[in-house]
Amino acid sequence: MPVKILIFNPYFYPGYKAGGPVQSLTHLIERMGDVYTFAVVTSAFDLGEQQSYTVIQTDTWQVVQLNGHNVMVWYAAQPLTAAAVRQRIAEQKPDIIYLNGMYGFPWFIWPLWWYRRGKTGNARVVVCPRGMLQPGALAVKPLRKKIYLTALRWLGLCKGIRWHATTPEEAKDIKQMMGAEIEVRVAANIPKLPVPYWEPAAKLPDTLRLVYVSLITQKKNLFLLLQALRHCKCRIYLDIWGPLVDAAYWQQCEKLIPQLPANISVQYKGTVLPQQVQATIAQYDAMVLLTKGENFGHVIYESFSAARPVLMSTFTPWQNLEARQAGWAIAITDTKAIARQIDRLSSMPAPEWAVYCAGAYALAMAYLSQNNAELAYGQLFDTVKEA
């Protein structure tokens, strides 16, 4: 019998507004559905929505197809109780309980609670924090997170679990926060396929068409980008795509936009469906994401995979970008320095820009060719022995 993996996450297909974590799960199931049997416990609502999905049944197990693979999904119409979590585990009898993220109370704490009490059968627990333990991510609401992580360690809820890091750097971050003695295994995120055909951006002289595609939250640092644009001298167009997750933060951004100089044009465009992200990014010269921390950054990869370079912070696993002519990783401590970099990119001639488009696509193809998911996830889930 294939190993059965029961996933707990507050958001799942057909939802998309929660961003990368949902994409990570769907790509995992699509790629590894022939190797493992998957079941998912999730909510019946997308991020920020009051109405449940219209294409699902609530509070019952149902079969959902993802790229030809069947997955059993329970869409909860109400917040999960401890008893409901235990019942879902008893019904599925998983070999592995996989917790995606680590801050949602019912989705993270209750499964660990029953695991520590010996009520999950023989299931092993694997936790993937999805970059939540990176220094940049911890810097957002730091006191609250420090108290929470201290309580986790004090209660011993994470004792005996296995941690899933998606990069060696994230593995170091996890050990830094949760203890050097814990077990961490690295299995990279499974990406979307690059577009089959691409063309370089039709870049205009002394002009830059930028696109931001991400959640509107403090972590993604849109406000800092807008502050930097105040100092730009060239003609800059910025379109913003993404769910308005943090309304107060977005209000700060909205107040700043009218104050930008006449050479800067900024528009909020709404949300974009996952299957349209690559085509959307391809309409621009480059993507920009001055994030405070990413363990992977699906949208960064998707920009590369659509042959568009990325201007990003140094708090991502994507490094040596300029050497590979695929993008630019810059410090996010000085808005004027960021503005100078944006102006430099604006003045780059179209033939040189085309080289960076080709470099971005080559980087996506290289990542895809090196992504040995079967081996890495086999070692993570104990179906393949480590060498």
Interval 269-295: pLDDT, tens? 999 999 999 999 999 999 999 999 888
- For residue 77, give the 3-state DSSP assignment: coil
pLDDT in tens, 237-272: 999 999 998 999 999 999 999 999 999 999 999 999
Per the rule left: phi > 0, alpha: psi between -120 and 50, beta: everything else, 281 is alpha
Rounded distance, CA 361 to CA 43, Å?
35
- Give all domains of the chain, ordered by start, each with its CATH number: 4-190+371-380 (3.40.50.2000), 207-369 (3.40.50.2000)
The closest alpha carbon to 125, from 150, 149, 148, 156, belongs to 156
Instruction: Count the helix, strand and coil residues of the chain and give each as a percent rounded to the nearest 5.
Output: 40, 20, 40
Q: Could you list the beta-strand ranges (E) of 303-380.
A: 310-313, 327-330
Q: pLDDT above 70 covers what percent of the chain? A: 99
Strands 61-66 and 69-76: antiparallel
Residue 29 neighbours by CB under 8 Å, 6+ apart: 38, 66, 69, 71
| Terminal-to-terminal C-alpha distance of the chain | 24
Task: Report yes or no: 99 and 112 within 8 Å, Cβ to Cβ.
Answer: yes
Rounded distance, CA 39 to CA 312, Å?
35
Q: What's this model's pTM, rounded to 2 decimal places?
A: 0.86
pLDDT at 371: 82
